[in-house]
Amino acid sequence: MLEQGALTGLTVIDLSRLLPGPYASMILADHGARVIAIEDRRFMSDNFFVTTVNRNKEHMSLNLKTSRGRDIFEKLLDRADVVIEGFRPGVVQRLGIDYPSLSSRHPGIIYCSISGYGQTGPYRDRVGHDVNYLASAGVLDLIGPAGSQPSIPGIQIADIAGGGMNAVIGILLALIARSRTGKGQYIDISMTDGMLGFLSLPMWFREMTGMSPRRSDAVLSHRYACYNTYETADGRYLSIGAVENRFWKVLCEHFGVPQYTPLQYDDARREEIIGFMRERFRSKPIAEWEKELAPLEICYAKVNTLDEVLDHPMFRERHMVIDQSDATGKMIRQFGIAVKLGRTPGRLRTPPATFGQHTEAILTELGYSESEIASLVREGVV
């Protein structure tokens, strides 16, 4: 097993903040890339410095609105392979750090822009957040109880999947292309675009049935008893995902209702069957159901809380929940690395950086003297 990660030797300059871009650069950093995250010191007091996506990185403060700040950025670019930015469309052009401006001097640079609605189109200049991108893409319309308002998920799906993960995919594809051509390229990531792929199965069902999907009323969303959630006697919830009839048959026979086996997707009887399952699952607490259902092949799972996830033996054994010391020596919990490479695995090398922690060290590496660094601090450049 090699000590180096799959991306060792790659240098990434991350100009983004909040969640989508930093999540993307964290994945790259986990797999060995050197990530230098840059943020303006004026954002220090916002309290949106998300430490859970800042591990394995170096962090420096830099004011790109100053000429000296842009000079520092140019020096960093001489060593960089990838630039990630998450400004609103048009901002990097005004700063003079857009892809056309940089690529003439750095033809191999891979430049990834992450925005809510993309760099083109009628929504280009709209402001937004995760809920707006989910809504625009039609995803939010399918989340929540039937006959009621859409429910905002407790996680940022568009930010992480539509933005961060797609940015990583785009960057890796561009790196492969550069290895063949020697040329970098521009990547336009729209978080809203990224959400459309989440509608692949609803789109398929729409094509099959000629009917548009409705909230909590689809084959894989509460319409049938075999793919549903049920409350237990102690107010907890259990998920059942017995889509295939062989799994559904096991559950029906276990509950003594084999007559329901062929009625799995029967619309005339579905409410009757759901009612039976609700009543049955409410008869015992969640712990008893886990013991009872564990030996059966029926596709079930307890709906875990975040606290339960952090202590779950499965995630501990798979190194998906890891204890690590932070910059102050305090023990913190981190999520592990989901993409598990056998030969060049990702690693948690360093804890999340504090804001601007590596500014002086990076400037020193670029050749700035102590007096020059002091001057840059006084002038508000760093």
Catalytically annotated residues: 129, 159
In angstroms, the CA 308 to CA 99 distance is: 45
pLDDT digits (tens, 9 = 90+) for 241-287: 999 999 999 999 999 999 999 999 999 999 999 999 999 999 999 99
- 236 and 355: one domain? no
Structural domain tally of the chain? 2
Q: Is residue 159 part of a domain?
A: yes
Where are the strands (E) in 11-72, listed by range? 11-14, 34-39, 57-61
Segments forming the whole domain that contains residue 80: 11-197+319-378
pLDDT digits (tens, 9 = 90+) for 80-117: 999 999 999 999 999 999 999 999 999 999 999 999 99
pLDDT digits (tens, 9 = 90+) for 198-254: 999 999 999 988 989 999 999 999 999 999 999 999 999 999 999 999 999 999 999
- 158 and 55: one domain? yes
pLDDT digits (tens, 9 = 90+) for 334-346: 999 999 999 999 9
In angstroms, the CA 255 to CA 240 distance is: 14
Mean pLDDT within 369-380: 96
- 38 and 73: one domain? yes
Q: What is the CATH number of the domain that holds 245?
A: 3.30.1540.10
Q: What is the pLDDT confidence band of residue 3, given thresholds at 50, 70 and 90?
A: low
- Asked which of 307, 331, 361 is the last residue of a domain, the reply is 307
- 287 and 331: one domain? no
Residue 35 near residue 45, CB atoms below 8 Å: no
Q: Find, among 88, 66, 79, the residue nearest to 15 by Cα.
A: 88
Exposure string (b/e) for 299-327, b if CB count within 10 Å is 16 or more? Answer: bbebeeeeeeeeeeeebeeeebbeeeebe
Residue with tokens 């492969």: 176
In angstroms, the CA 109 to CA 178 distance is: 9
In angstroms, the CA 382 to CA 376 distance is: 6
Q: Is residue 120 part of a domain?
A: yes
- 121 and 251: one domain? no
Q: What's this model's pTM, rounded to 2 decimal places? A: 0.94
> What separation, in Å, do the N-terminal and C-terminal C-alpha atoms of the chain show?
40
Give DSSP secondary structure letters for 274-318.
Answer: HHHHHHHHTTS-HHHHHHHHTTS-S-EEE---HHHHHT-HHHHHT
